[in-house]
Structure 1
Amino acid sequence: MRVCLLASGSKGNAIFVESSGTRLLIDAGLSGREICSRLQQLDVAGEDLDAILVSHDHGDHCRGLGPMARRCGLPVHIHPETLAALPKLGRIDHLHEFDSGATFLIGELQIETIPLTHDAAHTVGFRIHGAEGTVGVATDLGIATRLVRERLKGCRVLVVETNHDEELLRDGPYPWHLKQRIRSNHGHLSNTAGAELLDTLRWDGLEAVFLAHLSETNNTRDHALAAVERVLRPQNLCQPQLIVGQQAAVSCCFVA
C-alpha cells in the first residue's frame, strides 16, 4: 500500500492511493501537467493510473480533471450533480457516474462513497478497501456526521481535514461572511473538529493519518499537529504516523 498527498490546500488538491495492484487519483485540482510531474516523483506515470475519483466540483479539486483524463486516457468516477456543475469539463471518453453512498469496484479495490456536508453541488468522501487494508478520505466537510464517523471506522490510513485554527480564522484578514462560511456546517473542519473526528476513529490498526486542506492564511502545520497530538498523546491504543499535506510539494508517503 502507498498513500500520498500530491497537493493539499485551497489552491489545489490531489491524492494518490496505490493498493492491491490498483492506482487511483482522488481529485485533480492542479493542472494535468503538474499532476503528472508530481506523480513522476513517485515513479508513477499518469497513464499508470486506473481511474480518477472526484469528490466535488470546486476548482481546487477538479481544475485539471478534464485535461488529466484526456491526456492519460483515464476513467472518471463522478456524482451526476458534480458532473452537471462542470459545464466546461469537456469530453471524457470513460465516464462512470455513481450515487451517493454507492459502492463499486475499480480493479481489486472496493470504493464506497460517503456523503459529506459542504457548499458544493454534491460532496463525497471515500472508503477504499482492498486486501492490504482500508484508506478513508474525508476533506471539505463542515461537520463530521454520525454516518461519516461510522464509514471511516477501521481504516489503516486516514486522510482528514484540519483546515483552520479557530483563533487564527477569527482574528485573520478574511471578511466576516467568508469566516462564517468556513465555520458553518457546510464549510471546513477546524483543527479541533478534525482532531475530534480522529479521536472517534482510533483503533489499534490505525497506522497513518494525513492532515489535509490546511489554510495558508488561517492555519499552520504546528497548529494542526498540536491539535491532533492533544488527542493522541493521552492514549496508547495507536500511535499513527502523522503526515501534514502541503500545497507546493508532494507529502511524505505512507508505504507498507
Structure 2
Amino acid sequence: MKNNSFCVCPLASGSKGNSLFVSCSNSSVLIDAGLSGVEIERRLNLLKIDPESLTAIIITHEHSDHIKGAGILSRRYKLPLYISPKTYGASQALGKIEDLRFFECGTSFHIDEIQVNPFSISHDAEDPAGLTLEYKNQKIGIATDLGIVTNLVKEHLKDSNLLYLESNHDPEMLINGPYPWHLKQRIKGRMGHLSNADAKILVSELKTDRLKHVILAHLSEENNSPQKAAQEVSKSLNASHIGLHVAKPHEPGVLIRL
C-alpha cells in the first residue's frame, strides 16, 4: 500500500489480541502481532492489504496478546522484528527470529522513511514501550497498556495528528464486575490500565489544531463498552474537528488516512 501520508488501521485491540497496521510510502509496519499469524493475514486481506507488503514488526511488550503471531509472521515474510532487549528476553514464545533488531526506550530509530520514537510506560511487563511514529510532517502517538500517564508520556504524545490511546475500563463496571479483587486492583493500579476517565483527561491535555483523530484502544469486553468509552472521551472533544473511533477486538477497524 503506497501512500504519501500515513494510513492507520487497528487489526485487533483488546485482551484477546492486539495489532495495529501503519503504512506510508513504501513502508507497512505492524505494531504488535497478538493474534495468530493466520488471523492477522485474514484481517489484512479483509482490508485488501497483501501480507507480502509488510516491511517490519515492532513489539511494545511481551504479553501474549501482543506477540502471539509475531514470530511466525517474521519468519514467513522475512520481516525484521524490532524489540527491546529486555522484552525479547521475556518473549520465549517468539521462537527463532532471523532478523532481530533491538531498540531502547528513549532512543529513536528509523524503519525506512518512518522515524520511530519509543518511550517508557508504566505496566507490569519487563520493558513496556509507547511509541510515536513520524513521517514527513505527520505524527502518530501510541500509548496502550499503561497504568498512569506520566509527564514523559504526555511530552512524547504532544502534537500528534492521530492518537491511539488506551481506554480500558469503566471504573464502576470494573468494581462491580466479575473479576477477583486482586485482578481489579491490578487493572486500576499504577502498573495496570487506563480508565475511560483517564483517557478523557489525556485527550483534553493533548488536544491541538494538529490532532485530527483519536482511536480508543484495548477496551475490556467485561468492564467497558464502546458506547461508554466514546461517551466519556467525547466530553473532552466538545464536538470539535477531531474524529473519535473505537478499535474492535474481533474485526479490523476503519482505515484512516492522514
TM-score by structure 2 length? 0.96
Instruction: Give the structure 1 partner of residue 196 of structure 2.
Output: 191
Instruction: Give the structure 2 partner of residue 93 of structure 1.
Output: 98
Whether the 8 Å CA contact 1:23–1:49 is kept in 2: the answer is: yes
Aligned-partner Cα distance in 2 for 1:239–1:185: 32
1:14 matched to 2:19: yes
Aligned-partner Cα distance in 1 for 2:47–2:109: 27
Instruction: Give the structure 2 partner of residue 253 of structure 1.
Output: 255
* Aligned AA (2:113): E
Count residues in correspondence.
Answer: 253
Aligned-partner Cα distance in 1 for 2:152–2:75: 34
Instruction: Give the structure 2 partner of residue 72 of structure 1.
Output: 77
**3-state SS of paired residue (2:168):** coil
1:157 matched to 2:162: yes
Aligned-partner Cα distance in 1 for 2:130–2:250: 23
Whether the 8 Å CA contact 2:59–2:66 is kept in 1: the answer is: yes
Whether the 8 Å CA contact 1:209–1:243 is kept in 2: the answer is: yes
Aligned-partner Cα distance in 2 for 1:180–1:19: 40
Aligned-partner Cα distance in 1 for 2:102–2:151: 25
Aligned with residue 7 of structure 2, among 2, 19, 29: 2
How far did 1:7 drift?
A: 0.2
Instruction: Give the structure 2 partner of residue 26 of structure 1.
Output: 31
1:129 matched to 2:131: no
Aligned-partner Cα distance in 2 for 1:130–1:155: 11
How far did 1:19 drift?
A: 2.1
Question: Cα RMSD between the aligned structures?
Answer: 1.1
Aligned with residue 146 of structure 1, among 145, 151, 155: 151
How far did 1:87 drift?
A: 2.0
How far did 1:132 drift?
A: 4.9
Aligned-partner Cα distance in 2 for 1:114–1:47: 29
Deviation above 6 Å: which 4+ runs of structure 1?
A: none
How far did 1:22 drift?
A: 1.6
Whether the 8 Å CA contact 1:19–1:132 is kept in 2: the answer is: no
**3-state SS of paired residue (1:160):** strand
* Aligned AA (1:68): L
Aligned-partner Cα distance in 1 for 2:93–2:13: 23
Instruction: Give the structure 1 partner of residue 89 of structure 2.
Output: 84
- Identify unmatched segments of 5+ residues in structure 1: none
Aligned with residue 116 of structure 1, among 114, 121, 124: 121
Superimposed CA distance per residue, residues 79-121 of structure 1 (whole angstroms, 9 cap, x where no aligned partner): 1111000123211111001111110010101000011100011
1:175 matched to 2:180: yes
Change (3 A) 1:24 1:132: farther
Instruction: Give the structure 1 partner of residue 225 of structure 2.
Output: 220
Instruction: Give the structure 1 partner of residue 242 of structure 2.
Output: 240
Aligned-partner Cα distance in 1 for 2:155–2:257: 25
Aligned-partner Cα distance in 2 for 1:140–1:189: 7
Aligned-partner Cα distance in 2 for 1:132–1:35: 29
Identity rate, percent = 44
Aligned-partner Cα distance in 2 for 1:188–1:15: 18
Q: Tell me whether 96-105 or 17-26 shows the greater mean CA deviation.
A: 17-26
Whether the 8 Å CA contact 2:67–2:94 is kept in 1: the answer is: no
